[in-house]
Amino acid sequence: MSRIGKNPVTIAKEVNVTIGPDNVIVVKGPKGELRQPIDRDIQVTIQDNKVEFKRPTDQIRHKAIHGLYRALVNNMVNGVTTGYEKKLELVGVGFKASNQGNLLDLSLGYSHNIVFEIPKELKVSTGQEKGKNPIITLQSIDKQLLGQVAAKIRSLRKPEPYKGKGVKFEGEVLRRKAGKSAGK
């Protein structure tokens, strides 16, 4: 059995989990509401403030989606109670970030600024302390969407291995190269 799939998801007191029509799980909490369609082969039961997932057979496909849907529902429950946050750091001379509402204006060393529209489900804020790199903070209740948008922003200027310039996640460890050795 799947080690992740067999663990039940514990529901907090302020969270309401229901199974709607077409096998859609709806999770409502203090921070918002999330929906996730579940494969029809996976049986979902809600009892005693726990959500349990059962698979019909030991086929590879059933094993794979068993743990997947348990993890997705667990992320939804955590999202509507505490939420998720990702921070991106802009490393490089002249790299800047500013936002107006959900429009993110990035200056990443190209000939023009990049204007990136953040989905309305996310909250974005930018800041810079003197002597430190600019920071972009993304917050959301949807972990999947948050990770996808953060990865898209990072892909606009990936960190290079020599000086480390680019957009990186806060706390990300980059593999650095030595560069050229000095001539004679």
**Which domains are present in the chain?**
9-81 (3.90.930.12), 84-169 (3.90.930.12)
82-132 pLDDT tens trace: 999 999 999 999 999 999 999 999 999 999 999 999 999 999 999 988 889
* Confidence category of residue 1, pLDDT binned at 50, 70, 90: very low
CA angle 119, 133, 170 (to 5 degrees): 60
Three-class SS state of 134:
coil
Phi/psi at 32 (5° precision): 155, -160
In the prediction, which pLDDT does 184 show?
59
Per-residue model confidence as pLDDT tens digits over 10-41: 999 999 999 988 889 999 999 999 999 999 99
Closest CA to 82 of 19, 149, 14: 14
The rounded distance, in Å, linking the Cα atoms of 102 and 105 is 10
Q: Are 149 and 114 in contact (CB under 8 A)?
A: no
